[in-house]
Structure 1
Amino acid sequence: MGQLPAQLLDSPYWWASHLVESACSTGDQAYEYIYEAFGLQPEDFAGFWTDTLNMNNEYGPWPEFILSIPGFAVNVAYLGTPRHEVKYGLSTFGQVHWVGGLGGHGVSPAFRWDEIDRFSRRTPAREASLLLLLPACEISAEQREEARETIRDCFKALGYEGPLIDRFSKALAGRLDYGRHWHYDETYGWLSDHGHSWRCPEQRRVRGLTVAPDEQFFLFKSLTGYLGLNQ
């Protein structure tokens, strides 16, 4: 997988393509207004993933973003032919643990809202980092309004604002409320009860991790401790 130039993050086609399906999953028909919201040409939008991301090439190259803070990094990697898949990895000392994914073999949520919010604030590009991580997180009902405002402010900082961007931000925050419960475990750190998340104890059993703790869980616990989020 190859890295695309950072200039890609300046493209409204990138952000609309990266996030529009998440918004539509709420029942909000974002495809009906996404062009106007981001100032796009409809005839160019449909071909963006195929042309820019080389999606017809089964073997890439595909983009990979590496978001780093001291001691940790999150990889956001795009791969495959349509439909695309997005993989999220958490790493330290260069070893990547794949912790979530979207697409045909979706494993999500990989993160809590608090985690991507605090993580992104420590990166050089706060707004882009948060929006790249956003589809892989879970937002609770209590956090939804805070998240909506933060998402809206990130879009504004990148040059996108207006009533339709506000509507899009609200749809994204609503989509990521899975209605699931997270709890803090003294051994494993923050765990989810969402059966499709690798941070769920049931998923740990499915993966044969019934006895020895998985290194991935200790890595998450170390990260959340660094972010000041452990109890």
Structure 2
Amino acid sequence: MEHLILTETSFFRLIGGSACNDEIQESYNGFISEVVSLCSDMSNPENTFFALSFAETELQFHDMLQVENTGNSRSIYVRKALSFVRKMLEYIGQIRSGQVHTPQAERRKEKKNSQPLQWTGNAIDLVEIIYGIHEMGCINNGEIPLKQLAPILYSFFGVETKDCYRFYTDIKRRKTISHTHFLEQMQERLNERIRRDEEAELKRR
């Protein structure tokens, strides 16, 4: 679930264990990078807000905040992470209230207003295409992560951001039809069109 994206990082796992300082620092840096990436994307500010809020709650009530020895490295990193998450929550709140206008948000707004395409099929069919494109590695040489590719394609087709991971789970659970039902239908119809075109060309000769 998307609100768990921050609490499922290695940082949360290590602050509750007995990791060494280097491991904690590395995982902390990774956690901060994940927060920055989440707040920089903002394709779905609601999900970003939920993820940050959940992370704040878990950090606020973490056992390490109750440690009397304030020099404890895990306690320090928990406090630093909590402080940063709270600052980002404040920043997200300003964006949502219109107090802050980011260049990315303005570009997305302009693009949405001039969007000529609108996906009118089922959302799960679009997810099949997105996963297919990602697996083929034909965008940016396959180096773009799925979590970045999906919102871009959703936006391109004029679809509000959906939880593609949930749809993918539904695809994997299919029992009565093929997992790639839509892609196979697309292939079948394209091949049928090619056959019709070839037959029409033969008749004109």
- Write 1 or 2 for the structure with the bigger share of strand: 1
TM-score (norm. length: structure 2): 0.30
TM-score (norm. length: structure 1): 0.27
- Write 1 or 2 for the structure with the bigger share of helix: 2
